Structure 1
C-alpha cells in the first residue's frame, strides 16, 4: 500500500512538471507567433535587430515600446522600418554597462597618470634642489680650477633641464585634472535630458534601485508612477515639433514643482515622464499627481509662434505601490499598465494599479 502511495506521488509530480512545461511551450509558441505576425503584417525585414525589438516589446521586457507600438496601431498608422528605428531610439534601454566600464577605466587611467606625474615631479623637484645646492657649493669654492668650472657649467645645464622637466610634469598633472573634470561633466550630462533638464531614463533607473534598497532598510513606502501627455501626436501634427517640445517642457516644469528630496521626476522618453515617491503611500501619490493633472487641464496654453491656442492639454497617469510587487521591474510594468488603463478609459485621469491576489 505504501508503495502504491509512493507511485501516486511520483506520478502527480511528473504530471505537474509536464503541465508546466506544456504551458511554457504554449507561451513561447504564442510569443513566436506574435513576433512573426508583427514582422509580416508590417513588411519588416527578419533581421536580428527587428527580432530583438519585437521580442522586447511583446515579451514584456520593454512596456514603453509595446505601448508606443500599440498607440501607433490604434491611430491607424503603419509601422514602417524608419518609425520603428525612431521608437527604438527613444524606448530601448541604452547599453550603459559598457559605457560605465569604459568611463571607469578612463578614470582609473587618469588617476594613475596623475599619481605618476605628481610622484615624478616631486622626485624631480627634490633632485633639482639638491643639484642647486651642489652648484652653489662649487661656485663658492675659492680655488675653482678648469675641471670644477666645467662641472659647474654642466650642473647648471642639468639644473635648467631639471626645472624644465618639472614644469612639463606640472602641466601634465594639470591636464590630467582637467580630463577628470571633463569626465565628471560628461558623466553628469549623460544622465540629464537635454530638452527639459530633468534626469533621463538612465539616471532614473539607477536612482530607483538606490531608493528601493534604502526604503527597504528604513521600512518606508515607495511608489512609482508613469505620466503621458494625451494626444501628443496631434500637437506635433497641428503645431509642429518645436511647439510640441515646448508643451513637453511645460509639463516637465509642472511635475518638477512636486519634486523634492523624496520625490524624483525624470523624462522617460518622448512625451512620457516617470516619478518616484518615497515615504508616500499609493493613495497619497495618486492625489499629488492628480492635483498636477488638474492644474495642467485648467491652463490655456498658446503657441507663441502662431498665437494659436493649443486647446486642452492633459496627461494621464498610472501609479503603483512598489512593495506590492516582487521587484522594481514588476512595479514599473504595473504602473505602465495602469497608465494604459487611464488612456483606454477616457484619458485625463490617474489610475492606481491593483496588484493581483
Structure 2
C-alpha cells in the first residue's frame, strides 16, 4: 500500500471540514455497520469515523475521489459488504497493494445497484440543495446591495450635516462602520455564490465521469443501459429496427498472462477504437465490463449488424500488433460477437440475454466469428 507522510492529518481534516464534520476518533469503529445506540453524539461520531476511514483509504492509495471509488470505499468500511472488506484487506498487504486498476476491476464484479442508486439520490439531493442555496444567496445578495446603496445615500446626507453637532457626527461614523460591514457581507455572499457554482461544475463532471469507462473512453455499462432503455421506449412508440450485440475479445486472458496487463489494456483500447469507428448517432458502443463490449444499432436488422461487425472483425484480424515494451508480436487479435433483434423478444433484458447466448455459441464454434440469435 502506498502511504504519504501528510495523508493521515491535514488532507483528511480538510475532507471532513468540507463535509461539515470534524475528524473523530483514531479511526473507524470496530463495527461501523452496526446500528448506533441511539445517542445523537454517538451517531455523529460513527458517521465521522466512517468518513475519516473512507478519506484515509482514498488518500493513502492515491485513488480518485470518484463516485465509483466512494461506493467501493463505503461498501468496504461501513460493514455493508463484508466480502468486499475482506478483499480490500487482503489486497492491502500484497506487493501490488490497492491500486486504481484493481479497484476498477472489482467495480465490475460488485455491480452494486443499490449503492449506485443511493449515490444517484445523494447527487440529485445535492443538486437540489445547491439550486435552493443559489436562489436564496442571490436574493440576499441583492437585498444587501440595495441596503448598502441606500445607506450610502443617507451617509452623504449625514456628513453634510456634521456642522449641526456631535450627535450627527457620531451617527455618520456609525453609518460608515455599518456600510463597511455591509460591503464585507456582500463580498462573502459573492464568494459563497462562486463556491456553489464551482461545486455544481464539479458535480456535473463527476456525473459525466460516472458514465465513462476510464480506460477506453467509451460509455460504460451504466450509461449504455440508460441509452438502451430510451431507444427501446422510442421504438415502442414509433416502430423501427433495433438490434443489440455483445462482442468479446478472444483469448484475452492469454494476452494478459503472456504480455502483462499494460499490454492487455492496449489491446482493449484497440478493440474499443475498432468498434467506435462504426458508431454514429444510430450506433452506440460501450464497454460492458472486462474484455466485453456491447453495441446498440438503431435502424439496422441483426443481419445488417452482423455484416458490419464481420467487416470490423476482419479489419482487426489483418492488423499485426506488437508489444512496445518487448517488441514481441501479439499475434492475430480477434473478437467474437452475438447479435439479437431487440423487438423479437418480450422485453429488452431477454434480447440482451439472447445476444449473450449467441456470443457464447460463437466462442464454442471456434471464436473469431459473429452469430445471430
Contact kept, 8 Å, 1:341 with 1:351, in 2: the verdict is yes
Is 1:260–2:280 an aligned residue pair?
A: yes
Q: Which residue of 2 aligns with 1:174?
A: 194
Q: Partners of 2:82 and 2:146 in 1: how far apart? A: 63
Q: Which residue of 1 aligns with 2:13?
A: none
Q: Which residue of 1 aligns with 2:108?
A: 90
Contact kept, 8 Å, 1:138 with 1:144, in 2: the verdict is no
1:166-188 superposed Cα distances (whole Å, 9 cap, x missing partner): 01000000000000000000000
Q: Partners of 2:122 and 2:132 in 1: how far apart? A: 15
Contact kept, 8 Å, 1:225 with 1:317, in 2: the verdict is yes
Contact kept, 8 Å, 2:339 with 2:371, in 1: the verdict is yes
Structure with greater Cα Rg: 1
1:58-93 superposed Cα distances (whole Å, 9 cap, x missing partner): xxxxxxxxxxxxxxxxxxxxxxxxxxx997642443
Return 5+ residue gaps in structure 1 as ranges.
1-47, 52-84
Following superposition, the deviation at residue 216 of structure 1 comes to 2.2
Following superposition, the deviation at residue 155 of structure 1 comes to 0.4
Q: Partners of 1:254 and 1:191 in 2: how far apart? A: 20
Q: Partners of 1:300 and 1:266 in 2: how far apart? A: 24
Is 1:199–2:219 an aligned residue pair?
A: yes
Q: Which residue of 1 aligns with 2:257?
A: 237
Q: Which residue of 1 aligns with 2:314?
A: 294
Secondary structure at 1:199 match in 2: coil
State TM-score, norm by structure 1.
0.74
Q: Which residue of 2 aligns with 1:343?
A: 363
Aligned residues: 273
Q: Partners of 1:191 and 1:291 in 2: how far apart? A: 28
Change (3 A) 1:217 1:193: same
| RMSD of equivalent CA atoms | 1.9
Contact kept, 8 Å, 1:285 with 1:319, in 2: the verdict is yes
Secondary structure at 1:310 match in 2: strand
Q: Partners of 1:144 and 1:211 in 2: how far apart? A: 79
Change (3 A) 1:114 1:330: same
Following superposition, the deviation at residue 139 of structure 1 comes to 1.5
Secondary structure at 2:244 match in 1: strand
Higher helix share: 1
Change (3 A) 1:186 1:281: same
Return 5+ residue gaps in structure 2 as ranges.
1-79, 84-102
Pick one of 289, 305, 316 that aligns with 2:336.
316
Q: Partners of 2:356 and 2:328 in 1: how far apart? A: 33
Q: Which residue of 1 aligns with 2:345?
A: 325
1:47-62 superposed matches below 5 A: none
State TM-score, norm by structure 2.
0.71
Q: Which has the higher contact order (CA 8 A, sep 6+)?
A: 1
